[in-house]
Amino acid sequence: MNRMIESTNRHRATATLGWFCMVVAACLTLWAYSPALDAGFVFDDEANITDSPAVHWTEVSLRNVELLLGSSRLRQRPVANLSFALDHLAGGLDPSGFHLTNVLIHLTVGGTLMWLCLLYTRLTASPPQARQSRGAARYLALVPVGLFLLHPLNTQAVAYVVQRMTSMAALFTLLAFASYLMARYKVTLRSRGWYVGAIIFWMLGIGSKENAVLLLPVIALYEVCFFRSEWQRRVEQILGGQWNSQWTVRAWAAAAVLVALASWVVMTSHDGIGLFGTFKGRDFSGLERMLTQTRVQLLYLSLLLWPSPARLSLDHDFVVSHGLLDPATTLLATFACLVLVASAIFLCVRRPRYGFPVLAYMLFHAIEAGPVGLELVFEHRMYLPSTMLVLLGSALLVDARPGKQTLALATIFVLSFPLTHWTYDRNLVWADPVELQGDIARKSPSKARAQHNFALALREAGRIEEALTTVQRAIQLDPGDDRPHRLLGDILLDLDRPREALQAFQTARTVKPTSMAPVLGIGKALAADGREEEAFQHYLATGTQFGQGGLPWQAIPVLREAVNLRAENAEARHALGSSYLMVDKHDDAIEQFRAALLLDSSKYESWYNLGLTADSLGLHDEAIRAYEGFIKRAPPALQQQISRASARIGALSIDTSR
């Protein structure tokens, strides 16, 4: 009786300790991420949120849902985009609301990971461990989750708003995996319902970010690790023989062939995937990227073990591996990765309880470490894979002897303090745009993009002289990028040096002739130098050139500037209206054509375009008058257009008479 009471008390004490650690970890997480609530939008946040009208919801409607699905920047991630839209619905473009949602998602991931750890440590326990895993010690599985919540390596996935795509994909992937375990082991009577839940969560994960699809091979790995004998019996029944080593070899060979075939199909069906040929906008091929990833994976593991803020960066400067010996560390990194994979496979065979999480960690890296046209290094790519290492830590802690458990708990307790402090410090960096960009620039001194972004932040903060020095450094690093040249022009205008600014914008246009930004800059520089007529002629000529060259979206902002300078110029009005007409902005187009004809009624082109626009808007009377005006003024050489206008007058007259 006394032993039973003692066991019950120990069970309660251990459970209380586990839950208490998680409550403390959650509170510390909220404190560590509190500075990030003051952070703004950066980098891809602008393209996916601030500059994406599709997520700017002011009401819930079918029309808004259609826009979200059809016009979002990353339409293949509707679940994440929906979360952005709901945040906007609640608080507009206030970044603090978006950041708060990210922190809450991170905490929810932690809660889901707790559930998964409890399931995993109980369901995968071998008979000698089963009693302990079902008893008091199982609650110790919660403790490693606290390290995940507080780990500084996860700050990028939480503080960077758009990387909610990563954290949401992790959330739904973990929910799907836990639901699969509930169904597979028939933890409850309604196991089929859990299977349905697993599929729904998995699809939501894929709708957040594509790497959630990797749950499928992870579950296949789980089946091989923990239900191998069951599958062998099924094969034996189907084939009518006894499983032997030859069948094992054939099974692995078939799996390898299937993986190779699937990889070939994917690579031949997508431009952004492949082994050979440089990716668009990148300086590496798929094979070079895979070689580089051996070094990147070791970097990730080192950051996991020593996540000092001095080593973390939003934009790492990483040298591409062009061969096993270029740089020489590639060969060592490749060997190390092969050893790690072989060790994980060995563990899966001998001790699947520990081997599965390690190999699952590697599988969850498969897409972003593969031959794809993505950036080489981003810390948020560790978010989902690292959850599998938490499973490993939970299993090791539960299975350890009491003395080692005490030592492990003490170690985790000690580690939680520097991790919390480092995470807080890292979020302080995120909270200040200048500090964030400066941090990147200091850690990537030879990366032109980092220097350009730092210069941009300095300019926005009013630190113009520092911005000038920094952007000149960016130009030295990469003179073939038009953005630093444009920024240099803007900074020189701030310093009232328009002639030097003009040269900078002209250089930018030489680098990228089809970009409208340097064209606008040239006009600004000319106007700032007192040469308004030249600025107007520049806007008009270049805008017309863009429009006639099939670039109406570039033409519109340029021609707007021409109209702003010379509102009474009929030619500028006509050119702007024509560009609006090309992009089906009929209301804006008709306004410009009307204005052009008020200024110069002899412009037959404006009469014809006014007729087309009014016709498309259903303004039949105005369309008839416009076509008649065109026919009256058009030269005989335009006989084909005159005939079309006459035909439309006849058709519209019949409609009007009805």
Q: Please say which residue of 398, 428, 458 terminates a domain.
A: 428
Number of domains in the chain: 3
Q: What is the pTM of this model?
A: 0.86
**Distance between CA atoms of residues 408 and 400, nearest Å:** 9
Compute CA distances 181 → 64, 140, 184, 229, whole Å. 37, 20, 5, 18
Residues 43 and 185 in one domain: yes
CA distance 321 to 334: 11
Say whether both 139 and 43 belong to one domain: yes
The contacts of residue 37 (CB under 8 Å, 6+ apart) are 96, 99, 100, 103, 431
647 falls within a domain:
yes
8 A C-beta contact, residue 139 and residue 17: yes
pLDDT of residue 12: 59
Provide the sign of the torsion angle of the four alpha carbons 496, 500, 502, 507, taken in this order.
negative
Q: How many CB atoms lie within 10 A of CB 558?
A: 28
Instruction: Provide the pLDDT for residue 262.
Output: 66
pLDDT at residue 45 in the model:
92
DSSP state of 320: P
Its sign, for the CA torsion 492, 493, 495, 496, is positive
Higher pLDDT pick, 341 / 647: 341
Are 622 and 642 in the same domain? Answer: yes
Domain assignment present for residue 561? The answer is no
- Judgement on whether residues 301 and 439 belong to the same structural domain of the protein: no
The rounded distance, in Å, linking the Cα atoms of 181 and 192 is 12
Higher pLDDT, 235 or 52: 52
Domain boundary among 395, 411, 428: 428
- Is residue 587 one of the residues assigned to a domain? no
596 found inside a domain: no
Query: Which of 119-133, 467-481, 574-588 is predicted least confidently?
Result: 119-133
Q: How far apart are CA 35 and CA 256, in angstroms?
A: 48
Q: Give residue-wise pLDDT tens across range 580-608.
A: 999 889 999 999 999 999 999 988 898 99
Nearest CA to 202 among 172, 223, 170? 172
- pLDDT value for 279: 80
- Do 468 and 336 reside in the same domain of the chain? no
Residues 415 and 438 in one domain: no
Whether 570 is covered by a domain: the verdict is no
Instruction: Judge if 311 and 216 occupy the same domain.
Output: yes
pLDDT digits (tens, 9 = 90+) for 10-38: 555 556 666 777 788 889 999 999 999 98
One domain, residues 500 and 608: no
The reply to whether 544 falls in a domain is: no
Task: Give 132 or 364, the one with higher predicted confidence.
Answer: 364
392 and 436: one domain? no
Do 216 and 364 meet the contact criterion of CB atoms below 8 Å apart? no
Residue type, 105: I
CA distance 391 to 393: 5
CA dihedral 292, 294, 296, 297 (to 10 degrees): 160
Q: Is the per-residue pLDDT at 632 higher than 80? A: yes
Residues 392 and 469 in one domain: no
**Per-residue pLDDT, 379:** 96
Q: CATH number for the domain including 474?
A: 1.25.40.10
**Three-state secondary-structure class, residue 501:** helix
Q: For the CA atoms of the chain, what is the radius of gyration?
A: 31
Q: Which of 33, 23, 72 is nearest to 427 (CA)?
A: 33
CB 480 within 8 A of CB 511: yes
Number of helices and strands (H, E) in the chain?
Answer: 31, 0
Distance CA 447, CA 450 (A): 6
Single out the residue in 364, 393, 428 at which a domain terminates: 428
Locus of tokens 């699905």: 69
For the cut 50, the answer to whether the pLDDT of residue 131 exceeds it is: no
DSSP label at residue 207? T
- Let me know whether 69 and 143 are in one domain: yes
**pLDDT the model gives residue 269:** 60
Q: Which residue has the higher pLDDT, 143 or 107?
A: 107
Owning domain of residue 608: 601-658
Asked if the structure places residue 399 within a domain, the reply is yes
CA 62 to chain centre: 26
Nearest Cα residue to 568 out of 546, 536, 538:
536
Report if residue 640 sits inside a domain.
yes
State how far the Cα of 452 lies from the Cα of 488, in Å rounded to an integer. 10
298 and 158 belong to one structural domain: yes
pLDDT in tens, 284-335: 898 999 999 999 999 999 999 999 999 999 999 999 999 999 999 999 999 9
Per-residue pLDDT band for 263 (boundaries 50, 70, 90) equals: low
Average pLDDT over residues 561-589: 92
List the Cα angle 3/9/11 in 5-degree steps: 100
